[in-house]
Amino acid sequence: MIKYQEIESKTLPCVVPNEVPVNLNSYEGQHQVNWRIWQSVKELTEAANCFKNKAWKQTMMEIDEIHLKEELADALHFFIEACILIGMDAEELFDIYMRKSEVNKFRQRSKY
């Protein structure tokens, strides 16, 4: 984020955070995180568009795997930035993921 701060402050000043973590109860803080989440969605959409085979097509088409992986890496980049901006480190993300996984497993076992 620091590496791109100079570039982004010229082209996208509204997405350059003044502080990290941001204040999630401020308009600016919410905008910072929301923008990165939507950029992640955009990159995931670009990744999904790499798949060319449709139900109505008769011919299988190969995909550009490098392009697919680049788009997924771009999505991860913005996701990680969003995590940084809300003050979530890798350990906290992992812990939350594992807790949610246990909830999902319980729901599956109980036919929720």
Question: Would 15 be classed as within a structural domain?
Answer: yes
Question: Would 25 be classed as within a structural domain?
Answer: yes
Q: What is the mean pLDDT of residues 8-26?
A: 88
- Residue 27 pLDDT: 94
**pLDDT over 90 (residue 12):** no
Question: Would 92 be classed as within a structural domain?
Answer: yes
Helix-, strand-, coil-residue percentages of the chain, each rounded to 5: 70, 0, 30
What angle, rounded to 10 degrees, do the helices at 65-85 and 27-48 form?
170
Burial 81-90 (b: 16+ CB within 10 A, else e): bbbbbeeeee
Question: Would 76 be classed as within a structural domain?
Answer: yes
Question: pLDDT per residue over 44-70, tens digit each?
Answer: 999 999 998 888 888 888 999 999 999
- Residue 13 pLDDT: 76
**pLDDT over 80 (residue 103):** yes
Question: Would 16 be classed as within a structural domain?
Answer: yes
- The pLDDT-based confidence of 112 (bands split at 50, 70, 90) is confident
Question: Would 57 be classed as within a structural domain?
Answer: no
Question: Would 38 be classed as within a structural domain?
Answer: yes
**pLDDT over 90 (residue 85):** yes
Question: Would 24 be classed as within a structural domain?
Answer: yes
SS3 (DSSP) at 62: coil
Per DSSP, helices labelled H in 1-112 are: 2-11, 27-48, 65-85, 90-109
Q: How many domains does the chain fold into? A: 1
User: Which domain, by its residues, includes 44?
Assistant: 2-52+62-109
